[in-house]
Amino acid sequence: MSKEHVLTHLAEDEQMFRDSVLEFAKKRVGPLVAEMDAKGALDKSLLPGLFDLGLMGVEIPEEYGGSGASFFSAILAVEALAMVDPSVSVLVDVQNTLCANALLRWATADQKAKYLPKLAKEWVGSYALSEAGSGSDAFALTTRATKKGDKWVLDGRKLWITNANEASLFLVFATVDKALGYKGITGFLVERGTPGFSIGKKEDKLGIRASSTCELVLEECEVGADAVLGEIGKGYKIAIETLNEGRIGIGAQMLGLSQGALDFAMKYMAERKQFGQAIGNFQGMAFQYARVATEIEAARLMVYNAARRKDAGLPFVKEAAMAKLFASEVAERAASQCLELCGGVGFTKDYPMEKLYRDAKIGKIYEGTSNMQLATIAKIVQAEAETK
């Protein structure tokens, strides 16, 4: 896609940035994708390259060692990586749209000075909200934070936590008083190696298998008062605001996956000959990939629009929910259709299509299911109608 593309309006430097990320993904990530998927684990040799390219601290200011770029730039990086491997994409997504963003907005000056340089250069971050009984009902969590002198003691279990195997810093949400409901939820910064904190079972997943998803176990895990992120009882606000931004990241991830699937299918159809010509020339095939391309372009516009609005300080919650909802639906359809366009080989593990097909399913589930996105959209649309 050229910089003159009339629909996406990517500036030249943004285009160059996305292209550089895509080049890295193809050269460094691409050769490892199948092996990482089979092993269900990230090849940690990729981490230095991700840090060196500035992808783990896109919005972190230069004074802390980050790239000092925009949220939109982070979204472009997530999209480009997902074109090659959504598993690596989600690692970068969570690092930027959830972890770094939460610290940039809510951390004290001391916390920023301590953690942002590490996140920009060497530490992976993880965002620990979900529990066995707390998924869509995010604030039904039962992990407790008990005051003990000038310390806090955390007890509980977190489930489905992304980046858990690689992370050195965890943003853990716990309640200081169950009777307070959501007003008791508080965020804590917990470092790997803290006594009482451990990584539990790693999930064996259908897709994005190289992205670690694990249980966290907190048993009398003691942290200092300086581990509180924001204020006591403000964890619900931190969680809601970061997840709103994170949904744009998931939209970008699903967008990149869709484009990666189409790119591979187009290349295959140009090479595959039947009845004396490339199969992509047949109208029956052409109409199918034309529809896929159209849906991808619509998803791209929605994701980019939500990211631009966020950067501009405009309301974006509705647009973020729409982008996540639509892009995840498009990814599922695009991966399925492109697999079919590749015929029998698309169904084998020798080609990337079956993996992208498996990877696509998670988009409608994590960081807010499609039903939760619809509920958010409906609420805002109704409120907008009442003001007209």
List residues with catalytic annotation: 367
Give exposure, 130-162, as e/b (b: 16+ Cβ within 10 Å).
Answer: bbeebbeebbebebbbeeeeeebbbbbebbbbb
Taking the C-alpha atoms of residue 335 and residue 260, their distance in angstroms, rounded to an integer, is 9
Give the pair of three-digit tokens for residue 126.
């993880």
Contact assessment for residue 102 and residue 95, using Cβ atoms and an 8 Å cutoff: no
* Amino acid present at 287: F
